[in-house]
Amino acid sequence: MRYLQVLFGETDGSSTSGVFKLYDKLVIYGTPPNIWKLDPHVKLRIKQVNVSGKPVTISIEFCRNYEDDTTCSPVDKIELASEGELSKKYEYPLVLRARNGSEGFRITWSQETAAKSYIMLVIEWSDEDGD
In the complex, the residues that contact other proteins under the rule CB under 8 A are 1-3, 5, 26-30, 32-33, 35-37, 39-42, 66, 98, 100-101, 104, 125, 127
CB of 103 to other proteins, least distance (A): 10
CB of 131 to other proteins, least distance (A): 17
Q: Report the residue number, 10 or 110, with the smaller CB distance to other proteins.
A: 10
CB of 1 to other proteins, least distance (A): 4
Q: Is 29 helix (H, G, I), strand (E, B) or coil?
A: coil
One-letter identity of residue 18: G
Q: What is the DSSP letter of 69?
A: G
Other Cβ atoms less than 10 A from the Cβ of 80: the count is: 22
Run of H or E residues at 23: none
